[in-house]
Amino acid sequence: MDISGNTIFIPGATSGIGLALARELATRGNTVIVGGRRAEILDEIAAANPGIGTQRIDTTDPASITEAARTVLEAHPDLNVLITMAGIMRSEDWTTPSGFLDTAEATVTTNLLGPIRLIAAFIEHLRSMPDATIMTVSSGLAFAPLRVTPTYNATKAAIHMLSESLRLQLAGSSVSVLELEPPSVRTGLMPGQETSDFAMPLEDFVAEVVDLIATQPDATEIQVENVKFLRYGEARGDYDQVVATLNSRDPHGR
């Protein structure tokens, strides 16, 4: 993926990593459109960031995705990058159905079905472009589990394998698949995460991500240094220690 000259749609980018990444990509010479459910938040983003476009979209609603895709592509027929940013992370207690079932279903809908439906809505257009990118967003927790978030971990592992599989299917086409793998980052994703000493400062994370995109245009995975502890535990042979450290130090981390 080139760092500039793109038209980029980022659903789920009204806060946290998504919004910070949108702002930074806009400064790099890209046309950026952020998507979210709440019109008032989108209006605030548009007012504070005159160069960034907005689009209302609910990634849990297939009809909303279809309508948003139509609107975005009508306004931006040169769109060539889709970043499937929307995601939720909730604590669960799997010792009783009331402790996890509703949350698990909502997490699967947002974190897994959402990206699948978004890709379905844009894939034909992206394949018609001479150079296009689908950026998926998994997590370090796709590779080592946080005890309190089983479904989040599972959906992010699924996103990793979906990215790997989609890359194989699209090999030889004009569409590349780039997987962003965040570590714990200081955002409001979980209670306490914005002030966690274990979590990476948001501005540092985004700066490193953008630098990696700029310096590794042919990369398939974007891995900041902080995520490699989780990403490569099995390969290093210290997976058990990684899991133990993760669950002793970061009860609410990504």
pLDDT tens for each residue of 113-161? 999 999 999 999 999 999 999 999 999 999 999 999 999 999 999 999 9
pLDDT of residue 197: 87
Q: In terms of CATH architecture, what is 7-249?
A: 3-Layer(aba) Sandwich (3.40)
Using pLDDT thresholds of 50, 70 and 90, give the confidence band for residue 26.
very high
Composition of the chain by helix, strand, coil, percent to 5:
50, 15, 35
Using pLDDT thresholds of 50, 70 and 90, give the confidence band for residue 253.
very low
pLDDT of residue 252: 44
What is the percent of the chain where pLDDT is above 90?
93
Q: Where do the H-state alpha helices sit in the chain?
A: 16-27, 39-48, 62-75, 101-108, 114-128, 150-169, 202-215, 228-231, 233-236, 239-249
Please determine, for residue 75, whether its predicted confidence score (pLDDT) is greater than 50: yes
Q: Single out the catalytic residue among 9, 143, 152, 205.
A: 152
Please determine, for residue 249, whether its predicted confidence score (pLDDT) is greater than 80: no
**Is 232 a known active-site residue?**
no
Please determine, for residue 250, whether its predicted confidence score (pLDDT) is greater than 80: no
Summarize pLDDT for 99-109 with one digit per residue, the tens.
Answer: 999 999 999 99
CA gap 116, 114 in Å, rounded: 5
Residue 236's Cβ-side half-sphere holds a number of Cα atoms within 13 Å equal to 13
